[in-house]
Amino acid sequence: GQSLEQPSEVTAVEGAIVQINCTYQTSGFYGLSWYQQHDGGAPTFLSYNALDGLEETGRFSSFLSRSDSYGYLLLQELQMKDSASYFCAVRASDKIIFGKGTRLHILP
Amino acid sequence: GAVVSQHPSRVICKSGTSVKIECRSLDFQATTMFWYRQFPKQSLMLMATSNEGSKATYEQGVEKDKFLINHASLTLSTLTVTSAHPEDSSFYICSARTRMGQGSTDTQYFGPGTRLTVL
């Protein structure tokens, strides 16, 4: 089966940097995605890593190490609007399986 | 980017009735559609995978006779919650995928979700 582990909550200060880690166990791994979800809304796609290394998209970066079954999402220059839940998700075979999500609290 | 719509966005129904939720890919053909359920403050749980023209594949623990999925065309999938009960109240989200990428950007797009409340 598949399982993903990520912290349930993280708190950071506006303007700071925060890293959300994700470890996974799966068979047939294709890649690791990250999604953002605000309260009451649907998840929105942030990034996808199929290969090892760092992918940067604006203030957000995502990293993958396939050998360690580990990835992280890095958010820089935090803004209050970044307060949300962040899910790592594994593409395994023909479907995407989500982690339990990390609730990011941002303090002014 | 690609757009996936869901209808209705919210529905309230009485216990024992059936509710149909539509998921449409608006500007692309979706070879595969997925249905997820999310309870408050919890993760998205995959319910089933449907491929156009064939029967849906349900995840373990999901009753296929209760959650009927039809994927009749490349742009439309429907989820029918039959004989709904209060414990079925949840946020239902569909997603649609185009052809499987080859290590490229993820090509699965999510709909805005449908909030079901069963009284």
For B22-49, what is each residue's pLDDT tens digit? 999 998 888 889 999 999 888 999 999 9
- Asked whether the beta carbons of residue A44 and residue B110 sit closer than 8 angstroms, the reply is yes
What is the DSSP-derived secondary structure letter of residue A39?
A: T
Q: Which is more confident, B51 or A70?
A: A70
Q: What value does the mean pLDDT take over residues B6-21?
A: 96
Closest CA to A19 of A68, A54, A69, A50: A54
The nearest alpha carbon in chain B to A31 belongs to B103
Reading across the β-sheet that carries A60-65, which strands appear in turn? A3-5, A18-25, A70-75, A60-65, A53-57
A46-96 tens-digit pLDDT: 999 999 999 998 999 999 999 999 999 999 999 999 999 999 999 877 788
Please check the confidence at residue B102 and state whether its pLDDT lies above 60. no
Please check the confidence at residue B3 and state whether its pLDDT lies above 60. yes
Q: What value does the mean pLDDT take over residues B8-20?
A: 96
pLDDT recorded at residue B108: 77
Query: B14 vs chain A: nearest CA distance in angstroms?
Result: 22
Helix (H, G, I), strand (E, B) or coil at B86: helix
- Asked whether the beta carbons of residue A87 and residue B106 sit closer than 8 angstroms, the reply is no
A22-37 tens-digit pLDDT: 999 988 888 999 999 9
Q: Which two tokens stand for residue A28?
A: 């047939």
pLDDT recorded at residue B114: 96
pLDDT recorded at residue B107: 65
- Asked whether the beta carbons of residue B42 and residue A100 sit closer than 8 angstroms, the reply is yes
Q: Is A71 on the interface with B (CB under 8 A)?
A: no
Exposure on the CB side of residue B66, measured as CA atoms within 13 A:
10
A89/A104 Cα distance (integer angstroms)? 17
- Asked whether the beta carbons of residue B108 and residue A43 sit closer than 8 angstroms, the reply is no
B54-79 tens-digit pLDDT: 889 999 999 999 999 998 888 999 99
pLDDT recorded at residue B53: 79
For residue B109, the chain A residues in CB contact (below 8 A) are 45
What is the DSSP-derived secondary structure letter of residue B87?
A: G
Beta-bridge mates of residue B33: B50, B96
For A48-99, the DSSP string reads EESSSEEEEETTEEEEEETTTTEEEEEE-S--GGG-EEEEEEEEETTEEEE-
Provide the percentage of residues in chain A whose pLDDT is more than 90: 78
Q: Is B16 left (phi over 0), alpha (psi -120 to 50) or beta?
A: left
Give the model's confidence band at B99: pLDDT under 50 very low, under 70 low, under 90 confident, else very high. low
Highest mean pLDDT among A10-24, A44-58, A91-105, B88-102: A10-24
Exposure on the CB side of residue A26, measured as CA atoms within 13 A:
26
Helices (H) and strands (E) in chain B, counts: 0, 11
* Candidate from B42, B108, B110 with C-beta closest to A42: B110
For residue B93, the chain A residues in CB contact (below 8 A) are 42-43
Give the model's confidence band at B105: pLDDT under 50 very low, under 70 low, under 90 confident, else very high. very low
